[in-house]
Amino acid sequence: MKKGKKLYEGKAKIIFASNDKKYVIQHFKDDATAFNNQKKAVMDGKGILNNRISEHILTQLNNVGIKNHLVKRLNMREQLVQHVEIIPIEFIVRNIATGSLTKRLGIEDGTVLDSPLIEYCLKDDDLGDPLVSTEHILAFKWMEIDELNLINKELNRINDFLQGMFRGVGIKLVDFKVEFGRYEKNGKKEIMLADEISPDTCRLWDVNSDKKLDKDRFRKGLGNLIEAYQEVARRLDILHEQSNIRPLKYTKPQAVKIKKKQ
């Protein structure tokens, strides 16, 4: 697969053309942004970790019948994905109230929701990705009702699966954001999950300590973002103890006492 010209550059990823117009190459950058691009930094190795974590999650989702754009990982930073037209809505699913929900409605941080809450935001950085209702989506024809019904069902399936997957490795899935895209199959428009699912797009808390293992470490200036993403990758069994994703700190080899044979 040959890499073609840059088609689009977002905050954390770049999309390149491939030599087959059905596919594009998704490149994960190390850039971290928060608060609608007002806080920025480069986090050495983040792109590599998100590429691996998202590959793992989308593969698992595909195995349980949740169609998505991933074809295969090409290298440390890139994936071959199906070319889709991204629907201009960010779909947010929440299990525990935190972040913008608590600020907007005065809900206490950490409130466990009785059932998952779905929210829609218009994908528009200039407007700060405003929250929109089903009525807005239909009135402005951002989606057809059938598409929205199908996506709502998929969101619940994705949430169920991810909650179980993370719970199994001692992580609470607090909330997450996903995107969907349209593509044509046999002359018919179809919909599939696209973009990425990673600690950049999910809130992940350790079950015992509630330690944040996601981008909130950057948003809130808690530090150790890469270590937290590595922890997620390690628990998901993607990364093994001796990772070379980031050069490990040099530690002087310890002298080993060798017992003389008696």
Give the integer Cα–Cα distance in Å for 98 and 214.
13
Q: Looking at beta carbons only, is 84 or 89 nearer to ligand UDP? A: 89
Per CB under 6 A, the list member of 177, 180, 226, 233 interacting with ligand UDP is 177
Element (H, E) at 105: helix 100-105
77 part of the interface to ligand UDP, by CB under 6 A = no
Judged by CB under 6 A, which stretch of 64-72, 175-183, 186-194, 238-246 contacts ligand UDP? 175-183
Q: Which of 92, 193, 194, 197 binds ligand UDP (CB under 6 A)?
A: 92
* Strands (E) located in the chain: 3-9, 13-18, 23-28, 31-34, 39-42, 70-73, 78-82, 85-86, 89-96, 112-122, 131-132, 171-185, 188-194, 202-206
Using the minimum distance from each CB to ligand UDP, give the nearer residue, 18 or 26.
26
Taking the C-alpha atoms of residue 177 and residue 114, their distance in angstroms, rounded to an integer, is 19
Binds ligand UDP by CB under 6 A, chosen from 78, 147, 154, 175: 175
Residues in the chain: 262
Considering only residues 181 through 200, tell me which ones interact with ligand UDP, judged by CB under 6 A. none
Question: Site map for ligand UDP, 33-72, x if CB under 6 A?
Answer: ----------------------------------------
Q: Is 202 in the site for ligand UDP (CB under 6 A)?
A: yes
Long-range contacts of 207-211 (CB under 8 A, 24+ apart): 207/167, 207/170, 207/171, 207/172, 208/170, 210/110, 210/172
Residue 176 binds ligand UDP, judged by CB under 6 A:
yes
100 makes contact with ligand UDP (CB under 6 A): yes
Compute the distance between CA of residue 241 and CA of residue 183 in angstroms, rounded to an integer.
Answer: 40
Strands (E), 35-170: 39-42, 70-73, 78-82, 85-86, 89-96, 112-122, 131-132
Indicate which single residue of 71, 101, 143, 173 sits in contact with ligand UDP (rule: CB under 6 A): 101
Judged by CB under 6 A, how many residues of this single chain contact ligand UDP? 13
* Residue 218 is a binding residue for ligand UDP (CB under 6 A): no
Q: Which residues bind ligand UDP (CB under 6 A)?
A: 90, 92, 99-101, 129, 175-177, 201-203, 215
